[in-house]
């Protein structure tokens, strides 16, 4: 197997594993719009990376993490509704990125690769942060699984029981921001949310417990990555959209099975 194909499979599998449980929390807590906002902000991170001569993945990661913290601060201190804050931040960060991009006439930026991903071009140097970041998020999810689940089931009751609600909410947002920044190279900014939501939605119909849903979502994501890369290899289609298309096909297939 060619080295670039090995890198693509490892990167795709690592993100699919972590996208399963994290995407389940996105569905349970209705954070899909938050994911879209971070994906819009990724363009700003890319542009800042080029302007400041910083690795784009690092710049996107820092931008997404700062935006997650800013969102939480605005919600807590200004008492603004989450959808209102997201509705403001999403177009604002995207517009700022596009305006800054217009000043970069001397720099060639492959915007299409960042929009739709370039999985088959993942190098060994880019693979290491993807594997490390995915492992870190999986470890944090394992440690915080029960508190996050209790927070999701009933936030007020979790606060009464003494759980650090604000810290847990921030931790979930930061993990989501990190995965979105890492997944940019795999499926691109426009398709990141699909990688989180579609496998989890397909697993939700047939799972008996939250843990079972998270595990099945990861397995569906792994299968979608394998099918998508195979489709890209044999049919010469873009890898990122191919993965999302295969995930969508698996979701449609799940609708044909009896609902549990």
What are 64-78's pLDDT values in tens digits?
788 878 877 776 665
Of the two residues 231 and 189, the one the predictor is more confident about is 231
pLDDT given at position 219: 94
Measured distance CA(242)–CA(31) in Å, rounded:
24
Does residue 178 lie in a domain region?
Answer: yes
Does residue 218 lie in a domain region?
Answer: no
| Cβ-contact 44, 35 below 8 angstroms | no
Does residue 36 lie in a domain region?
Answer: yes
Domain span at residue 68?
Answer: 3-190
Does residue 224 lie in a domain region?
Answer: no
- Residue 49 sits in a domain whose CATH number is 1.10.3470.10
Does residue 154 lie in a domain region?
Answer: yes
**pTM, to two decimals:** 0.84
Residues in the chain: 260
| Cβ-contact 90, 71 below 8 angstroms | no
For residue 105, what are the CA distances in angstroms to 52, 57, 102, 171? 15, 21, 7, 38
pLDDT given at position 172: 87
Does residue 73 lie in a domain region?
Answer: yes
CB-based contacts of 201-206 (< 8 A; 24+ apart in sequence):
201/27, 201/251, 202/247, 202/250, 202/251, 202/253, 202/254, 203/20, 203/24, 203/254, 204/24, 204/27, 205/254, 205/255, 205/257, 205/259, 205/260, 206/254, 206/257, 206/259, 206/260
Measured distance CA(18)–CA(141) in Å, rounded:
9
The structural domain count of the chain equals 1
What are 53-105's pLDDT values in tens digits?
787 778 888 887 888 788 777 766 656 666 677 777 778 887 888 788 777 76
Does residue 213 lie in a domain region?
Answer: no
Q: Provide the 3-class DSSP secondary structure of residue 163.
A: coil
pLDDT given at position 57: 74
Does residue 139 lie in a domain region?
Answer: yes
């Amino acid at each position: 197997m060619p080295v670039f194909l090995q890198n693509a499979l490892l990167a795709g599998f690592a993100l699919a594993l972590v996208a399963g449980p994290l995407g389940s929390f996105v569905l349970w807590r209705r954070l899909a719009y938050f994911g879209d906002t971070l994906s819009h902000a990724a363009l700003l991170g890319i542009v800042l990376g080029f302007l400041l001569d910083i690795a784009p993945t690092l710049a996107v990661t820092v931008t997404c993490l700062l935006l997650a913290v800013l969102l939480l601060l605005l919600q807590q201190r200004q008492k603004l509704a989450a959808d209102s804050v997201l509705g403001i931040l999403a177009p604002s960060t995207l517009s700022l990125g596009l305006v800054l991009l217009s000043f970069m006439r001397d720099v060639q930026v492959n915007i299409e690769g960042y929009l739709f991903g370039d999985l088959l071009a993942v190098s060994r140097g880019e693979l290491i942060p993807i594997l490390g970041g995915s492992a870190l998020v999986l470890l944090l999810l394992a440690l915080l699984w029960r508190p996050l689940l209790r927070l999701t089931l009933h936030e007020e009751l979790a606060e009464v029981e003494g759980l650090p609600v604000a810290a847990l909410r921030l931790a979930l947002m930061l993990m989501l921001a990190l995965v979105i920044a890492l997944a940019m190279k795999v499926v691109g900014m426009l398709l990141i949310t699909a990688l989180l939501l579609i496998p989890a939605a397909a697993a939700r119909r047939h799972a008996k417990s939250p843990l079972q849903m998270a595990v099945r979502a990861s397995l569906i994501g792994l299968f979608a990555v394998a099918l998508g890369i195979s489709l890209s290899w044999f049919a010469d289609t873009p890898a990122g959209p191919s993965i999302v298309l295969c995930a969508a096909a698996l979701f449609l297939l799940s609708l044909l099975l009896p609902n549990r």
